[in-house]
Each structure stands twice: as structure tokens, then as C-alpha cells.
Amino acid sequence: MVIRRDAGGRQFNYSEFLGAAAGAGISTTYRDRADQTFSNASETYVEQIAIDALGNELKEFWPDIHRIVFTRIARKLHGQSDAANNV
């Protein structure tokens, strides 16, 4: 993931990856002793990165999704067809 710097350039998002790693490490301490493994911590880390990436994509594209989906639903509720409205 790349973020924009204050000066306008781009940089790797260290805080995202280091924060997710710290969270995964901390959450591992709340598991049973037998489950406190590197494998479990790495799974948690990957899951967190994936969830964050999905959340970022939803934030980016939600206005378009909302407009397309809910406009069609509203038209169907009011008895209008999508083809008649060129959607």
C-alpha cells in the first residue's frame, strides 16, 4: 500500500503494516499457550491486512456502488425500468 506524503510524494505505508503486525502479536498473547505460535500470529496478520485492503476499496468505490445499486432498487420500487432510463 502506498500513501501520499505531506510533501506530495508517495511512500510505502509503514504504519499500516507495522501496526497490523503489532496487533497480531498482541492478540496472540490472549490465546492459550499451545496456540501462541508464529503460524497463528502470521494468519492474524494476513487477515488484518486483507480486511484493511477491502475496507479501503469499499471506501473508495462505495459512492459508485451506492448510486448504481440503490438507484436501480428505487426505480424498481416505483415501477420504472432500467432500459427506459438508460442505466
**pLDDT (tens digit per residue) in 6-23:** 888 999 989 999 999 999
Q: Structural domain tally of the chain? A: 1
Question: Does residue 30 lie in a domain region?
Answer: yes
Question: Does residue 22 lie in a domain region?
Answer: yes
Residue 21's domain comprises: 2-55
On whether the CB atoms of residues 12 and 1 are closer than 8 A, the answer is: yes
On whether the CB atoms of residues 12 and 2 are closer than 8 A, the answer is: yes
Question: Does residue 64 lie in a domain region?
Answer: no
CA distance 4 to 14: 12
Q: Compute the C-alpha angle 53/56/59, nearest 5°.
A: 150
Using the predicted structure, report yes or no on whether residue 5 has a pLDDT greater than 90: no
Question: Does residue 43 lie in a domain region?
Answer: yes
**pLDDT (tens digit per residue) in 28-63:** 999 899 989 999 999 999 999 999 999 989 999 999
